Amino acid sequence: MKVGDVLHLVPTLSEKIGLESKGTMPCRVVYIHPKGRFYVVEFGQTQRWREAFYPPEREGREYNQPVRDWTEKQKKRGT
């Protein structure tokens, strides 16, 4: 994987920001951590958003698992 590659992943934030998700969506890799710890992809064409994911080779993590779910963190805080 390298910056600029097009992947087909299931977005995790689409429903939370008011978009209907219908399975996998095309996304473009925009950043890869220098040590390969995570990567960032950009979804959407008219309404764009970015999400960070762990790479498939990262031990103990499932493929396409988001790095952090900020919405859940906010719910726990009560904000």
Tokens encoding 69: 């779910």
Amino acid in position 44: G
In tens, the pLDDT along 8-57 reads 988 887 566 666 667 788 999 999 999 888 899 998 887 788 999 888 77
Q: What is the pLDDT of residue 30?
A: 96
Strands 39-43 vs 6-9: parallel, antiparallel or unpaired = unpaired
DSSP 5-73: -EEEE--SSTTTTT----S-EEEEEEEE-TTSS-EEEEE-SSS-EEEEE--TTSTT--TT-BS--HHHH
What confidence category does residue 62 fall into, taking pLDDT thresholds of 50, 70 and 90? low
